[in-house]
């Protein structure tokens, strides 16, 4: 089939269970111009070079399509959609209460609490023969963690779940559909969630508590901190990213292991392999399949193809991480793989802000599930998938098990 | 257990400083300081940190440079 329809075929919902043969086709052309004017890149070395190329913008207001640029300009972007130096300033400010150099112990200190949350959730699975890994475990775990970290009441989950669905829906790249309505719904949801989170933060001004929303309004930052709008869009980014991605890492992980009982047994026997296994999952079944937001600021030549200024440039990370020019035996899931500089968290200045937390959550979650559930079997293979081709993962993952281990 | 970080390779992604903050420390925004002789109670954290390094700059081993596993 023609390479200029690859994007259409990748985003087609029927491709969701297994997009990898399409990625192999994409890698044959390295850069594939699409009939809708976008450019797909799927090879490891080209993606890596573009992720480190200052001529490539993350800000969709640089798109040459006027409608797209207009929609992008309706609401201030968070730092994921900005370029340096603004991106750098906001990311550093946001990092202050979250990680090194100012708060190096925050994620490590959450370890015990994540273990407790995971143990509570698996305890609830005992005695039930059939469970949904998504609804009963992989969704509530990261939501509870991100709520504690940000300082968002867990019981408000039904409220922000709807907004979050709409925001993720805005990322649903279906070239056969008019994106305007979907993008507007996503913008409305970002605005509503921003007002909600901004209100929570304001309520803590002068009454500091040990969470990020409180730190954003109470801590002294010599760089000036976040203004009201920045606080809202940043908090929205953290809440959405914190609970729409890790759920897929955990679920894709269980699905991958359930399909490979020998590897599942290996990890039960040797839990010390888990950190390496999670890196391999990030390479083999990454929760973020592609970065759809990039735009060249000038005409850029990639592997002999000129990508024009302002064109949508889509970097298919999940394809790059399966590139045989970079990884030996790339379609094999190998939890012992040592040479594994995958693109699961991107690379360069926009590399995943929450990566250390996601790593820890996935390691703890999978360890708890493997330790607790015996004789696990998949009920549906492939399971039903969520819509998005970008944040890809099962909507449900039904499993049956014989009982509880220790 | 001893470790060596290839500081020419290090790009300050700081995954190690999140995951094993008592062993790896960012000095300012970019420079990495670390404890080469890892205390017993930090070994699991250091293992996590070494595996997570996006540029694989951390060598772990009885003799650093030996297999990380």
User: pLDDT class for B67, splitting at 50, 70, 90?
Assistant: very low
- CA-wise closest residue to A231 among A208, A214, A209: A214
Residues of the domain holding A39 = 3-404
B55 vs B69: CA distance, rounded Å: 17
Q: What is the pLDDT at residue A180?
A: 78
More confident residue, B12 or B66: B12
Mean pLDDT score, B21-42: 93
Q: Which domains does chain B have, with CATH numbers?
A: 2-61 (3.30.70.20)
Q: Are strands B58-61 and A377-378 parallel, antiparallel or unpaired?
A: unpaired
Q: State which residue of chain A sits closest to B44, comparing Cα positions.
A: A272
Q: Measure B10 CA to nearest chain A CA, in Å.
A: 13
Residues of A in contact with B27 (CB under 8 A): 101
Task: Flag whether pLDDT at B68 surpasses 60.
Answer: no
Note the pLDDT tens digit of each residue in A311-370: 999 999 999 999 999 999 999 999 999 999 999 999 999 999 999 999 999 999 999 999
Q: B62 touching A, CB under 8 A?
A: no
Q: Which residues contact A41 (CB under 8 A, 6 or more apart)?
A: A30, A31, A32, A47, A50, A302, A313, A314, A315, A316
Q: Scanning the structure block, which residue is given the tokens 């995951």?
A: B19
Question: pLDDT tens, position by position, for chain A (406 residues)?
Answer: 688 899 999 999 999 999 999 999 999 998 999 999 999 999 999 999 999 999 999 999 999 998 888 888 888 899 999 999 999 999 999 999 999 999 999 999 999 999 999 999 999 998 888 999 999 999 999 999 999 999 999 999 999 999 998 998 887 766 666 777 888 888 999 999 999 999 999 999 999 999 999 999 999 988 889 999 999 999 999 999 988 899 999 999 999 999 999 999 999 999 999 999 999 999 999 999 999 999 999 999 999 999 999 999 999 999 999 999 999 999 999 999 999 999 999 999 999 999 999 999 999 999 999 998 888 899 999 999 999 999 999 999 999 987 655 4
Q: What is the pLDDT at residue B61?
A: 83
Q: Which residues contact A233 (CB under 8 A, 6 or more apart)?
A: A75, A76, A77, A78, A190, A194
CB contact under 8 A, B28 and A276: no
CATH code for position A201: 1.10.630.10
CB contact under 8 A, A100 and B20: no
Say which of A100, A104, A359 has its CB closest to residue B52.
Answer: A359
Q: What is the pLDDT at residue B38?
A: 96
Whether the upstream peptide bond of residue A308 has omega within 30° of 0, thus cis, is no
Q: What is the pLDDT at residue A223?
A: 87
CA distances from A273 to A343, A362, B5, B11, B63 (A): 20, 13, 21, 25, 20
Q: How many domains does chain A have?
A: 1
3 state SS for chain A: CCHHHHHHHHHCHHHCCCCHHHHHHHHHHCEEECCCCCEEECCHHHHHHHHCCCCEECCHHHCCCHHHHHHHHCCCCCHHHCCCCHHHHHHHHHHCCCCCCCCCCHHHHCHHHHHHHHHHHHHCCCCCCEEEHHHHHHCHHHHHHHHHHHCCCHHHHHHHHHHHHHHHHCCCCCCCCCHHHHHHHHHHHHHHHHHHHHHHHHCCCCCCCCCHHHHHHHCCCCCCCCCHHHHHHHHHHHHHHHHHCHHHHHHHHHHHHHCCHHHHHHHHHCHHHHHHHHHHHHHHCCCECCEEEEEECCCEEECCEEECCCCCEEECHHHHCCCCCCCCCCCCCCCCCCCCCCCCCCCCCCCCCCHHHHHHHHHHHHHHHHHHEECCEECCCCCCECCCCCECCECCCEEECCEECC
A–B CB contacts, 8 A cutoff, strictly below: 66
pTM listed for this prediction = 0.95
Q: What is the pLDDT at residue A406?
A: 41
Q: What is the pLDDT at residue A181?
A: 80
Residues of A in contact with B43 (CB under 8 A): none
CB contact under 8 A, B52 and A279: yes
3 state SS for B27-44: ECCCEEEECCECCHHHHH
Residues of A in contact with B51 (CB under 8 A): 275-276, 279
């Amino acid at each position: 089939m023609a390479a200029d329809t690859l994007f259409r075929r990748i985003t087609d919902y029927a491709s969701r269970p297994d997009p990898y043969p399409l990625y192999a086709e994409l890698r044959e052309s390295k850069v594939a111009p699409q009939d809708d004017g976008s450019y797909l890149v799927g090879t490891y070395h080209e993606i890596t070079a573009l992720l480190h190329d200052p001529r490539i913008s993350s800000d969709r207001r640089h798109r040459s399509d006027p409608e797209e640029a207009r929609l992008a300009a309706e609401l201030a972007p968070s730092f994921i959609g900005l370029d340096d130096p603004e991106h750098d300033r906001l990311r550093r400010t946001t990092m202050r209460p979250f990680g090194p150099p100012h708060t190096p112990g925050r994620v490590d200190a959450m370890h015990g609490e994540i273990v407790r949350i995971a143990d509570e959730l698996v305890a609830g699975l005992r005695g039930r023969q059939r469970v949904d890994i998504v609804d009963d475990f992989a969704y509530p775990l990261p939501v509870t963690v991100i709520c504690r970290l940000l300082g968002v009441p867990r019981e408000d989950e039904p409220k922000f779940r709807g907004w979050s669905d709409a925001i993720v829906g805005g990322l649903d790249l279906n070239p056969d559909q008019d994106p305007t309505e979907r993008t507007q719904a996503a913008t409305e949801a970002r605005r509503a969630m921003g007002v909600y989170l901004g209100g929570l933060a304001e309520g803590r001004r002068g009454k500091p508590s040990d969470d990020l929303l409180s730190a954003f309004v109470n801590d002294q930052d010599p760089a000036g901190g976040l203004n009201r709008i920045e606080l809202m869009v940043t908090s929205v980014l953290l809440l959405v990213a914190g609970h729409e991605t890790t759920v897929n890492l955990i679920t894709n992980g269980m699905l991958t292991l359930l399909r490979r009982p020998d590897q599942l047994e290996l990890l039960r026997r040797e839990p010390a392999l888990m950190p390496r296994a999670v890196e391999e999952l990030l390479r083999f079944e990454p929760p973020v399949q592609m970065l759809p937001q990039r735009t060249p600021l000038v005409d850029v030549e990639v592997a002999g193809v000129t990508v024009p200024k302002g064109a949508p440039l889509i970097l298919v990370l999940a394809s790059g991480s399966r590139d045989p020019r970079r990884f030996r035996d790339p379609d094999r899931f190998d939890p012992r793989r040592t040479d594994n500089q995958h693109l699961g968290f991107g690379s360069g200045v926009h590399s995943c802000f929450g990566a250390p937390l996601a790593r820890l959550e996935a390691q703890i979650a999978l360890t708890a599930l493997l330790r607790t559930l015996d004789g696990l079997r998949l009920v549906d293979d492939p399971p039903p998938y969520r819509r998005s081709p970008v944040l890809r993962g099962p909507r449900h993952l039904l499993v049956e098990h014989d009982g509880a281990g220790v | 257990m001893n470790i060596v970080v290839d500081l020419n390779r290090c790009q300050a992604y700081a995954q190690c400083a999140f995951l094993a903050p008592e062993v790896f420390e960012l000095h300012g925004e970019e420079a990495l300081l670390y404890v080469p002789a890892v205390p017993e109670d930090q070994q699991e954290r250091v293992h996590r940190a070494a595996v997570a390094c996006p540029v694989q700059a951390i060598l772990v081993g009885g003799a650093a440079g030996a297999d990380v596993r």
